Amino acid sequence: MGERKLASRLDRLGTETAYSVAAEARALASKGKTIYPFHIGDFDIKTPPHIIEAAKHYLDEGKTGYCDAAGIPCLREALAEEITSTRGVTYDKDEVSVQPGGKSVIGKFLQVCMEDGDEVLYPSPGYPIYESQINFLGGVAVPYAFKDTGNSIELDMDKFSKLFTPQTKVVIFNNYQNPFGYASHETELREIAALCVKHNVWVLSDEAYFDLVFDGTPKSIVAQPGMKERSVILYTFSKSFSMTGWRLGAAIGPKDVIAQINKLNSNQEACTNHFVQFAGYTALTSPLSIVHINSVRDTLLRRRNLLVEKLNEVPGFTAYTPAAAFYVMVNVTKAMEMVGVKRGDLESFRKKILGETGVSFCTREHFGAPLDGERVQYVRFAFSGVDTKVIEDATAALKTFMQNFLAPESKCFDATNSAHAKLSGAFERDGLLVSGGATV
């Protein structure tokens, strides 16, 4: 047999490298090391019983055949109603295409709305599948950045607005963002929408964390003027209903786009699992689900507050409070310097902390290629799968380890100090902490 060659397009396909961190942590655990797992955004909270019971019921009832590629009508209707009532924009069932998870919306949306060579603006750091799919499907991936203001993370609107060119055809926007947990306020949503309208681009509004916003009422960019007709919402059951492994989501957008996405469904998976769709219908329509979502949000809020507080007691670590989702991005620029890892080598820092303390996390590098001139160094802690005891133990282990690197005079560490003031004067004078508007 001659040389076997795989398709060259595969060179452009990325993956979720967070799973290799999980494998590494598992391998250490199997050798008896205590691991504190903050790497993957999966839940230790089970799918609520009423949804599980519904799935069993529909299996017994024989909802096990092929069904409509667009999804079962009652689920599409329920989704249209849910989006209409929570986003403040009217949708009907023909604007809904059921998907095997939210993730599949990304590639299908790009296949329908992006031509070869089109520029696509996407957040970086951001959910890694955006970059992977843009490159794989022949687009030009143009990342937009966030900035560290010294006490919070913000979208760098100034830079964002300058990225649009005549070749820009698509914007991927993820309000309630992974990994920063960042929430755009109303004025920013209006500005982003105005830019999208002005440049006449398609928009993917990734709303995976819409139900997990800690303060205030969540807002969708589709409610801004001129947005409904150019936007596709990525909806998922994964986070709101603790259904990550069920693989159920939807694309919601203009009828002509949805009709093409339905055609892709029939070419790819034929349809989403029949009985899972019916369980999703129960998830959306049962009052018990509201109780579940509220209790998940409360649990996550307790974890978030504890984690941010405790991480800020770790020498060299600076954490801001995320507004939504279940991730804390931690500025470890100082910590890397303290342990002697050079800036840019986040992977060595991750491995060192994992090996020394058992605390397992992803780094900025797991969320898209770093941008030119990026100086602040971040790691991401996911707190969806860890209870408060794990948070206490993990942060105590981190603190003990990092205290070894404090200058002698600051070893009696005052936890009430601000995160920035907690290191010795020597470190502060070195000016190693890059914040104050630095692009990340």
Binding site for ligand PLP (CB under 6 A): 41, 101-103, 127, 174, 178, 206, 208, 234, 236, 238, 244, 249
CB of 241 to ligand PLP, least distance (A): 11
Angle in degrees, CA 396, 402, 408, rounded to 5: 120
Query: CA-to-CA distance for 250 and 210, rounded, in angstroms?
Result: 14
CB of 208 to ligand PLP, least distance (A): 4
Decide whether 180 or 202 has the Cβ nearer to ligand PLP: 180
CB nearest ligand PLP: which residue?
102
CB of 362 to ligand PLP, least distance (A): 12
CB of 248 to ligand PLP, least distance (A): 8
CB of 112 to ligand PLP, least distance (A): 17
Decide whether 100 or 139 has the Cβ nearer to ligand PLP: 100
Contacts of 11 (CB under 8 A, 6+ apart): none
Backbone angles phi, psi at 353, to 5 degrees: -65, -40
Query: CA-to-CA distance for 73 and 278, rounded, in angstroms?
Result: 10
157 token code pair: 């609107």
CB of 236 to ligand PLP, least distance (A): 3
Decide whether 234 or 419 has the Cβ nearer to ligand PLP: 234
Identify the residue whose tokens are 């699992």. 273
Decide whether 129 or 434 has the Cβ nearer to ligand PLP: 129
Decide whether 367 or 401 has the Cβ nearer to ligand PLP: 367
Decide whether 103 or 292 has the Cβ nearer to ligand PLP: 103
CB of 143 to ligand PLP, least distance (A): 15
CB of 209 to ligand PLP, least distance (A): 7
CB of 341 to ligand PLP, least distance (A): 27
Decide whether 127 or 281 has the Cβ nearer to ligand PLP: 127
81 token code pair: 């109603």
CB of 262 to ligand PLP, least distance (A): 18
Decide whether 182 or 278 has the Cβ nearer to ligand PLP: 182
CB of 107 to ligand PLP, least distance (A): 11
Decide whether 127 or 427 has the Cβ nearer to ligand PLP: 127
67 token code pair: 């069904």
Decide whether 70 or 335 has the Cβ nearer to ligand PLP: 70
Decide whether 299 or 312 has the Cβ nearer to ligand PLP: 299
Give the side-chain half-sphere CA count within 13 A for 158: 4
Lateral strand order in the sheet of 153-155: 153-155, 146-148, 438-439
